[in-house]
């Protein structure tokens, strides 16, 4: 601390009036302070001279290229601490907080994200021009050794910590196969390595990039995967796709891009980055007990589930292990707490519209009374909408199929939106005269339809028949 005050006086010519330690969410052990006197600067105390040297060199180089990074003004003789530009307090992660929490990003949040992802190619390409990669720490480039370090980080700090059994030799075989795939492209570009919204500051509406001291020579896909699949970013698919298109458009200003190949290769980096992130969450969360990292685990597991919907034929055993990992009780139970539950109820109007016990105030209510009623005929009185005679009547003698197709279209759209926004409850009710035939048929068919199409919990209640059924996801 005294060294930072000394640096401040030497650089500004004035004493420090106020010192405030800043909360660091990054995985490093550096300490950050805001020093206020005649001007405000950020003081950094590091634990590694090599890492500090790398950062100071990178800042100098990037500033010479006109890239948006914080300037380093001075540093101590031993380079264990330094003073840098104060960019304020607004992390991109916090600037998009409302969007992250709701999965609905407003125009301002989208604009910040698009600006950020569009500037990334300049860091990767312009930043690499004339860059001395031998100055990087701990490695000058992204190679098989660094890949295996990260994969084993995942294996030892996360996978083994779950207590799950697996065959290490078979897992190692797939790790080596992944190395070959990830190293297919040999490019002279800068790999930021931890490019995510917590490492972007917003000042005067523009993005500035921080915490890139672990950067090295490497392929561009890694940073795109890091940013778009950040565990707690909670980007809906359409926004992630919009950001990816913006990145590719910006990248094309530097060189031609085969988009099909780019996307194919990116998938492998997304998987690799998720494993590396889980390794970090395991170490920083489970071993160092840092809550921020523990809180990120369920989001990363959910990203992993989504990614594994499409097979990675190159890594059969790894994928089998990962699928088993996503079904472990400690993750599946947490997932169920956050999973969307669709409650579907059939009812009789003459006995009242069902209450919504979730507290959301209700949902869809579809009136089935315009559909031809089998209840008019005495021969159907002993049956309900689950019985074959009634099913046959409704499907042959009424407009039930057309009616339900319209229902499917509306409810499907809501389920998709609710899933994107992280909502946990949706209610759909079908009413008819007696709550026995038409409403029962419709509720049952909607439950079957949604259970096949979406990964959601379904609670089906035929109120007047006193029947309840749960459709559990696997």
pLDDT tens for each residue of 386-425:
999 999 999 987 789 999 999 999 999 999 888 877 788 9
By three-state DSSP, how is residue 338 classified?
helix
- Per DSSP (E only), the strands in 320-363 are 341-348
Query: What are phi and psi for residue 209, nearest 5 degrees?
Result: -105, 135
pLDDT at 427 over 70: yes
pLDDT tier for residue 335 given thresholds of 50, 70 and 90: low
Query: What are phi and psi for residue 82, nearest 5 degrees?
Result: -155, 165
Residue-level pLDDT at 253: 98
pLDDT tens for each residue of 362-381:
789 999 999 999 999 999 99
Neighbours of 331 (CB within 10 A): 19
- 4-18, 128-142, 231-245, 252-266: least confidently modelled range: 231-245
Residue-level pLDDT at 463: 96
Could you tell me the pTM of the whole model? 0.74
pLDDT tens for each residue of 21-78:
997 655 567 899 999 999 999 999 998 999 999 999 999 999 999 999 999 999 999 9
* Range list for CATH 3.30.200.20 in the chain: 2-85
* Range list for CATH 3.90.1200.10 in the chain: 89-142+187-256
Residue-level pLDDT at 258: 97
Residue-level pLDDT at 169: 96
Residue-level pLDDT at 28: 63
pLDDT tens for each residue of 164-177:
999 999 999 999 99
Residue-level pLDDT at 338: 66
Which CATH number is 89-142+187-256 given? 3.90.1200.10
Top-level CATH class of 2-85? Answer: alpha beta
**Closest alpha carbon to 184 in 117, 278, 272:** 272
Residue-level pLDDT at 294: 76
**Closest alpha carbon to 435 in 385, 396, 474:** 385
């Amino acid at each position: 601390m005294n060294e930072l005050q000394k640096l401040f006086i030497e650089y500004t010519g004035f004493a420090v009036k106020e010192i405030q330690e800043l909360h660091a969410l990054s995985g490093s052990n550096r300490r950050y302070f805001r020093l206020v006197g005649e001007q405000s600067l950020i003081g950094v105390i590091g634990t590694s001279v090599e890492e500090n040297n790398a950062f100071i060199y990178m800042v100098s180089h990037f500033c010479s290229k006109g890239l948006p990074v914080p300037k380093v003004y001075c540093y101590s003789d031993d380079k264990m601490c330094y003073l840098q530009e104060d960019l304020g307090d607004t992390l991109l992660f916090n600037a998009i907080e409302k969007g992250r929490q709701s999965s609905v990003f407003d125009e301002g949040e989208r604009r910040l994200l698009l600006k950020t992802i569009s500037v990334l190619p300049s860091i990767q390409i312009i930043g690499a021009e004339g860059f001395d990669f031998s100055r990087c720490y701990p490695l000058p480039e992204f190679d098989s050794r660094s890949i295996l370090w990260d994969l084993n980080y995942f294996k030892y700090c996360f996978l083994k910590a779950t207590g799950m059994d697996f065959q290490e030799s078979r897992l190692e075989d797939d790790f080596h196969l992944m190395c070959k795939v990830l190293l297919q492209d040999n490019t002279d570009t800068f790999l930021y390595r931890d490019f995510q919204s917590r490492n972007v500051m917003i000042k005067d509406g523009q993005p500035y990039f921080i915490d890139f001291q672990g950067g090295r020579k490497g392929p561009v896909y890694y940073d795109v995967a890091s940013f778009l699949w950040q565990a707690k970013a909670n980007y809906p698919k359409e926004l992630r796709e919009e950001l990816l298109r913006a990145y590719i458009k910006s990248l094309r200003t530097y060189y031609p891009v085969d988009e099909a190949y780019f996307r194919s290769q990116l998938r492998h980096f997304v998987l690799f980055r998720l494993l590396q992130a889980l390794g970090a969450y395991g170490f920083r969360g489970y071993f160092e007990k840092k809550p921020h990292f523990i809180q990120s685990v369920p989001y990363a597991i959910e990203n992993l589930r989504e990614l594994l919907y499409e097979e990675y034929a190159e890594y059969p055993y790894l994928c089998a292990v990962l699928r088993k990992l996503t079904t472990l009780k400690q993750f599946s139970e947490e997932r169920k707490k956050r999973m969307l539950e669709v409650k579907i109820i059939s009812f009789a109007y003459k006995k009242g519209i069902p209450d919504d016990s979730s507290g959301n105030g209700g949902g869809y209510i579809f009136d089935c009374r315009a559909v031809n009623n089998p209840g008019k005929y005495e021969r159907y009185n002993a049956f309900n909408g689950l019985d074959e005679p009634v099913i046959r009547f409704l499907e042959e003698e009424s407009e039930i199929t057309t009616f339900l197709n319209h229902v499917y279209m509306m409810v499907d759209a809501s389920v998709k939106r609710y899933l994107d926004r992280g909502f946990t409850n949706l209610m759909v009710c079908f009413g008819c005269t007696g709550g026995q035939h038409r409403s029962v048929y419709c509720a049952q068919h909607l439950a079957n339809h949604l259970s096949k199409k979406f990964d959601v919990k379904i609670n089906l209640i035929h109120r007047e028949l006193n029947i309840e059924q749960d459709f559990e996801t696997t």
